[in-house]
Amino acid sequence: MIFCLPELITEDEHQALLGWIRSTEFSHGGRTVGQALAQIKHNDEITGEQSINQPISRLVMQALRRNETFVSATQARTMNTVLVNRYGPGMFYGAHVDAPIIGHPNPIRSDLSFTLFLADPESYDGGELVFESGNQEMAFKLPARSVICYPTGQLHWVREVTRGERLAVVGWVQSLIRDPAMRELQYDVLRARNLVRASLGQGEAFDLLNKAHANLMRRYAET
C-alpha cells in the first residue's frame, strides 16, 4: 500500500530542517550503496554518520509518530536514522529496491520506506518518485512538507532533475507486521472500526471490529 501524508511537518519544522541542511556538507550518494547501485545512483546525501543527522532524524521521527494515519497504517516497531538527499540538474536514481536490512550499528528490517519532500514542486523540473505497478508506472511529486510511504520491496526510481533542486528526507520503518498484505488488512479493519464508532458509537458492531483488529494484531504482530 502506498499512501501520502500532506503537511506532515509544520512550517517552523520545515524551516528548521532547511537551516540544518544548508549548514551541512553533502557527499556523493553512491558511497552508501553497493557497486551495482552506485552506477545508477547519482545524488548527494547527508548520512547518519554526520552529527547534524541526529536532530534531523529526531524531528522527522517525532512528526511521523504524532500522525495518526502513519501510526495506524505502518504499525511501526522501530525506525532508523534518516538520510537527506539532494538532486540537482542531471542527477537521478535508476530503478531499484532499497536494502532489506538497513542501519549501523543497530540494523532494522526495512518493511516500509518514506520520502519527506522539502522543496516546492514548482522550484524544480523532473525528480518524480516513480513506482512500478504491474505494467504501469505511478509518479509522485508532492508539495513541500508532505510524505509518501510505500513498501520497501517495491521497484522505484527518481527521474532526472532538469532544473532546480530536489531536496528530501528518506527513511525506513520496521513494522510490527512483516507481511504488507496483512498490514494493509489490519489498517482497513482499524479504519472500519473507527468509522463505525464515529457514526454508530461503541455498540456491538464496534466491539466486533475491535475484536477482529485485536486478534489480527495478536496473530501477525512480531514484537
In the annotated binding site for 2-oxoglutarate, the residues are: 166
Task: Output the known binding site for Fe cation.
Answer: 96, 98, 156
Residues 6+ apart with CB under 8 A from 206: 193, 196, 197, 200
Instruction: Give residue 3's identity as a one-letter amino acid code.
Output: F
Residue 139 per-residue DSSP state: E
For 111-144, letters b (16+ CB in 10 Å) and e give bbbbbbbbbebeebbbbbbbbeeeeeeeebbbeb
* C-alpha cell of residue 110: 526495512
Task: Output the known binding site.
Answer: 96, 98, 156, 166
- Give dist(CA 216, CA 223) in Å, integer: 14
